[in-house]
């Protein structure tokens, strides 16, 4: 029925599923839309699942339906049909429809749309001809809709063209949940340790046993995985703060790691790492290294870009000889084989001497969902 609309939605990158699309069509057929405005709202309610995608929907909608504004007769016919889809034939008999059938009307709509698109090619297609809309508030009076404070005569197309949801757009799709789901793959559950009384199961078993005590013993199910997260909070990481903090939240909330520690560093690991960057609480990196067991999983997050001397120079403050940043990274790698580096920068920036050097120490993956999955696959079996 509205195939071009579906195509436009998908072209904007909205993954509209079949069941949602069918629900939308059913809604139109049962007269839920009642007008082009209603069509806009109905579609948005059923086909979009996040306010971040409202803007994409607006683009697709205005792209599809702006042609109506140029064709008052078609617009009127569409409105009349949407208002009461079951009544099409009767309305036609009363001379309210210039089209023989719904199909013919939709065919005309498709044609108008194609023409409109051609006309706007190369220009700003969303500017359209909003002002010439042949219908205003008048048509609404008989629809029985109590208008809210946002009322006024904005048509669905013009609502879409306003693009008021632009600020809600996040082309950044990685959310805490995505990270959490990926991290879950790191869990490695095993029953070990002493047998303990499982109280819930005991109560259950006893109750089922008509009150005769039935003890249920069970070894603890424990996750043996220990994780340490090292995050670069250097200046060039500033644009990635949000993304890294989401990864951090996901890792911190991930239930069932045997231990989870996190540290901050600035560009590179030197003598100290910070346990709380903002409060300035720090720890000698040698101590951190001691604390780590060989089966720890290490995740470094950073853009790995810095001035070469920051990574390669072997002297610390006061001219004392000290391991270089790269040496320190190698020490961590020697202690814990399962160590990866996640880089939030786009791969096109990876062609940089310090990035290349670090990626010879740690397998480097992009801080994307796929990158994280690859990294975790490595952490599970680092051989």
Partner 1 sequence: MTFKRFEGGQRYIADEGLMASVNAALALRRPLLVKGEPGTGKTMLAQAIAEGLGLKLLSWHVKSTTKAIEGLYTYDVVQRLNDSRFGGKDVSDIRRYIHLGPLGRALTSDEQVVLLIDEVDKADLEFPNDLLRELDEMSFTIRELDETVVAKQRPMVVITSNAEKDLPDAFLRRCVFHYIEFPDKERIRKIVGVHHPNLEHKLLESAVERFYKLRSVEGLRKKPSTSELLDWLLVLTRAGVKPEQIEAALPFSGVLIKQEQDRDLLERVRGRPGWKGL
Angle of helix 102-120 versus helix 54-65 axis, rounded to 10: 100
Q: How far is the CB of 337 from partner 1 (least distance, A)?
A: 30
> Closest CB to partner 1 among 249 and 313?
249
3-state secondary structure of 221: strand
Query: Which structure tokens are listed for 84?
Result: 């009461």
Sequential DSSP letters for 321-349: B---HHHHHHHHHHH-S-EEEEE-S-GGG
Query: Which structure tokens are listed for 222?
Result: 């424990």
Query: Which structure tokens are listed for 89?
Result: 């034939």
Q: How far is the CB of 146 from partner 1 (least distance, A)?
A: 5
> Closest CB to partner 1 among 28 and 229?
28
According to DSSP, the β-strands at 281-284 and 296-301 are unpaired
> Closest CB to partner 1 among 57 and 99?
57
Q: How far is the CB of 291 from partner 1 (least distance, A)?
A: 27
Q: Count, in order, helices (H) and strands (E) of the chain.
A: 16, 9
Query: Which structure tokens are listed for 309?
Result: 């001397």
> Closest CB to partner 1 among 156 and 325?
156
Tokens 């409105």 belong to residue: 79
3-state secondary structure of 226: strand
Q: How far is the CB of 100 from partner 1 (least distance, A)?
A: 26
> Closest CB to partner 1 among 46 and 74?
46
Burial class (CB in 10 A: 0-12, 13-18, 19+), 22: exposed
Tokens 């195509």 belong to residue: 7
> Closest CB to partner 1 among 29 and 291?
29
> Closest CB to partner 1 among 262 and 296?
262
Q: How far is the CB of 79 from partner 1 (least distance, A)?
A: 15
Query: Which structure tokens are listed for 164?
Result: 């008021």
Q: How far is the CB of 324 from partner 1 (least distance, A)?
A: 33
Q: How far is the CB of 75 from partner 1 (least distance, A)?
A: 19
According to DSSP, the β-strands at 272-276 and 281-284 are antiparallel
Q: How far is the CB of 362 from partner 1 (least distance, A)?
A: 29
State the residues that interact with partner 1 by CB under 8 A: 17, 19-20, 23, 26-27, 30-32, 37-38, 41-42, 44-46, 48-51, 54, 144-151, 168, 175-178, 180-181, 203-204, 206-207, 210-211, 278
Burial 229-254 (b: 16+ CB within 10 A, else e): bbbbbbeebeebeebbebbbebbeeb
According to DSSP, the β-strands at 226-232 and 296-301 are parallel
> Closest CB to partner 1 among 178 and 198?
178
């Amino acid at each position: 029925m509205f195939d071009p609309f579906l195509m436009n939605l998908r072209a904007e990158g909205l993954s509209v599923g079949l069941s949602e699309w069918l629900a939308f069509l059913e809604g139109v057929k049962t007269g839920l839309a009642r007008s082009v405005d209603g069509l806009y709202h109905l579609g948005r309610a059923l086909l979009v699942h996040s306010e971040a995608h409202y803007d994409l929907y607006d683009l697709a909608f205005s792209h599809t339906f702006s042609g109506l504004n140029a064709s008052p007769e078609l617009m009127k016919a569409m409105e009349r049909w949407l208002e009461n889809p079951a009544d099409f034939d009767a309305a036609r008999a009363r001379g309210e429809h210039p089209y023989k059938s719904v199909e013919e009307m939709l065919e005309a709509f498709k044609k108008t749309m194609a023409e409109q698109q051609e006309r706007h090619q190369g220009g700003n297609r969303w500017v359209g001809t909003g002002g010439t809309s042949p219908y205003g508030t008048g048509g609404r009076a008989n629809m029985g809709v109590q208008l809210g404070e946002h009322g006024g005569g904005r048509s669905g197309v013009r609502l879409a063209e306003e693009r008021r949801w632009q600020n809600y757009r996040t082309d950044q799709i990685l959310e805490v949940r995505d990270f959490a789901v990926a991290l879950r793959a790191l869990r490695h559950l095993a029953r070990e340790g002493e047998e303990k009384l499982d109280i819930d199961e005991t109560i259950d078993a006893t109750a089922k046993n008509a009150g005769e005590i039935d003890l249920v013993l069970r070894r603890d199910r424990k996750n043996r995985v220990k994780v340490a997260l090292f995050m670069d909070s250097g200046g060039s990481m500033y644009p990635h703060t949000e993304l890294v903090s989401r990864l951090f939240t996901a890792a911190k909330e991930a239930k069932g790691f045997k231990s989870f520690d996190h540290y901050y560093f600035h560009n590179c690991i030197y003598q100290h790492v910070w346990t709380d960057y903002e409060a300035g609480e720090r720890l000698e990196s040698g101590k951190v290294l001691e604390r780590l067991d060989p089966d720890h999983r290490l995740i470094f997050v950073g853009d790995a870009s810095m001035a070469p001397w920051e990574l390669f120079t072997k002297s610390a403050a006061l001219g004392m000889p000290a391991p270089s940043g790269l040496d320190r990274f190698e020490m961590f790698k020697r202690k814990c084989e399962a160590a990866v580096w996640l880089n939030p920068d786009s791969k096109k920036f990876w062609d940089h001497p310090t990035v290349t050097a670090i990626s010879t120490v740690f397998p480097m993956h992009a801080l994307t969902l796929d990158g994280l999955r690859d990294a975790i696959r490595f952490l599970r079996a680092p051989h």
